[in-house]
Amino acid sequence: MAWEIYGRTIKKVGVIGSGNIGPEIALFFSKVIHGQGVPVIVVDIAEQALKSGEARIKGKIGRGVKTGAFKKEAADSMIANISWTSDYSQLKGADLVVEAATEDIGIKRKIFAELEKVCPESAILASNSSHMEPEFIFEKAQHKNRCLVIHYFFPAERNIIVEIVPGKDTAPEVESFLMSFYELIGKAPIRVKSRYGYAVDPIFEGIFLAAAFLVEKGLGTVKQVDNMAQRALGLGVGPFTAMNLTGGNPIIEHGLQEMHDKIAPWFKLPAILKSQLASGKSWDTAKRGEEISYSESTYEKVADYLRGAYFGLVCEILNSGIVSLPDLEMGVEIALVAKAPFQMMNKMGVEKALELVKAYAQEWPDFFVPEVLVKQAKSGKPWDIPMALREDRDDIAVITLRRPKTLNALNSTVVSQLEAIFKAIKDDDQIKGAVITGFGTKAFVSGADINELASIRTPGEGEALSLRGQAILNQIENLGKPVICALNGLAFGGGNELAMACTARIARKGLSFLCGQPEPRLGIIPGYGGTQRLPRIVGLANAWPILRTGSPVSSQEALEIGLISQEVEGDMKEAGISFARKVISGEIKIPPIKKEPLEVPDSLPEVDIGHLSRKIDEIMKKAILEGARMTLEEGLKHEAKTFGECLNTKDMRIGMENFMKFGPKRNAEFSHS
């Protein structure tokens, strides 16, 4: 079979190397493309490596079946879809090949010479190098225009970040295809210009180096500094533990030496790494459940040093111009499982962050104080971290909400950015319409940020939060230019409310769960217009059970009740742009939302709310029915006030605390008061 996608045909995918990361890359590919009938071929010259890689992947898939992550049929299909071979000729006809062999330039060049013999000229050839510049890797390649680096992060099948690093000869259309392709198959690709180490690894290795220097300085043992680094930077695991997990000691040895010459003199081989390499042992890190003790005064000193190094490293990358700030922020936070660096700096104050970097550079004089950080501190302003990204396609503005870690959840920052973007669109005479969509394929917007909702304490705060969100959605609704919501995935809570404020909605075809207002499960009611717009779009009788039960509807159901205008296949952005142009031309006419009061029938269907709070249901019914008898403007204000009333109930706290502790799968035990 063949997969026709973004103007290319993918019939076969290859992975070279069955060592540390190659099998995981193959597993990821098989998970996402086995249903397309596209085989994955793993090639390695060592039969034992092939056997080991195959056993490892079968073990992972088997564990996934036991945990319920995979159904047995899908697991069997994924396993059958991967072939393991030492025969390069099996890659004949492959359209995408990722080399994941050792970081040895001679081996890499030999591999790509073999690939050029068996793969068609149209095939994309990529290296999963963690450091080498693509121009260096592909210096001997015959067709450099189809060659580049695609850098995965540990663990490759789960970590969603990939760095897309084109060389100076890489064709722009190859880069663009891969950015779209990887987003479609569940990754979060970031564009990075060619430089040794790319964007993320100098930070990863720099954190390790800073930690190693602190051990050498006598501020703690490996175990202690590992733990303190994890705590100070919000790391998923400490830097020494990360080296053990990834087998990174030999790679970082070479990487630090190269970065010393190519980035800054501060990067160098620490004495403790030399000793560790000579011993061949793993770092002595804490065992599971082991408690590590140290004084708080020592921690504060170590934390300041580590944060100074972290902020300096991140700003050096930004200063180099190889990557954008939002891509760097997302890449570091997700790839390294660390606190988002620019948000950290904003929270403590950029001037304070600069002080930490300067203090670190004073202690380690070879360290850098990046000019971009100096300028930002002088401005007195926080870093601007775009999470709503605007891209103009001729006369159509395309807005993409990108917070993949939270499935694009709305928070106050995103709401403020939407306000600024839509004000600019309204004032831009060149723009005739807009499309808003979400990053990836899982979610348009998964809802409002639960942490912000849980932080409100009084009815007044709740009403103010609701009115703030409503104001932005009203701005979109009354823009004077059509705004099409391209629902690339689920739209729950505030996401569905945002979609309903748009002129029209289209959705990816075949979604079992598309839209819903799950607020009753959290012990609240919708606050961004859900109780008012949904009845006016789909009718009160249809909206009544959706709002009161919090149950989602599929894309097909949404089409049937009029919540969306179309189900579409293919690229959602392109579909949204096409739909917007038809609305602008008058080819498609979308009736405006009803702003006058609705007729409320004498009776509505009985609704079984199950375990949900009867107290919150009373507030919900009040918001829906009384608001329906008002104008839309009045009804929205009424909704905000009734949303605030939820703060007077015990069930709001019960619902919020249950969700924060257990997530959406466990029902809250409401008190109905």
Residues noted as catalytic: 497, 519
- Spatial separation of the C-alpha atoms in residues 468 and 466, rounded to whole Å: 5
List the beta bridge partners of residue 399. Answer: 390, 436
Residue among 383, 406, 391 nearest 329 (CA): 383
Q: Is 604 exposed, middle or buried (0-12, 13-18, 19+ CB in 10 A)?
A: middle
The structure tokens 């602008």 sit at 584
What whole-number distance in Å separates Cα of residue 257 and Cα of residue 246?
19
Which residue bears the tokens 């808003």? Answer: 436
Asked if 151 and 162 count as a contact pair (C-beta separation under 8 A), the reply is: yes
Q: Are 177 and 164 in contact (CB under 8 A)?
A: no
Q: What 3-state class would DSSP assign to 526? A: coil
- Write a three-state SS string for 69-120: CCCHHHHHHHHHHEEEECCHHHHCCCCEEEECCCCCHHHHHHHHHHHHHHCC
* β-strand pairing of 490-492 with 443-445: parallel
- Which amino acid makes up residue 360? Y
| DSSP state string for 215-282 | HHTTS--HHHHHHHHHHHHT-SS-HHHHHHHHT-HHHHHHHHHHHHHHT-TT----HHHHHHHHHTPP
From residue 228, alpha-carbon distances to 211, 295, 298, 348, 387 in Å are: 9, 11, 9, 19, 30
Q: How far apart are the first and last CA of the chain?
A: 58
Whether 421 contacts 567, CB under 8 Å: no
CB 526 within 8 A of CB 500: no
Query: Residue 332, Cα to own-chain centre: how many angstroms?
Result: 11
Give which of 479, 465, 346 is closest to 415, Cα–Cα: 465
Q: For the chain, what percentages of helix, strand and coil (3-state, to nearest 5) are there? A: 50, 10, 35
What is the DSSP code (8-state) at residue 503? Answer: S
Q: Which helix (H) or strand (E) element contains residue 641? A: helix 632-645
Query: Which run of H or E residues covers position 7?
Result: none
Cα–Cα dist 660/656, whole Å: 6
Q: How far is the C-alpha of 17 from the C-alpha of 657, rounded, in Å?
A: 46
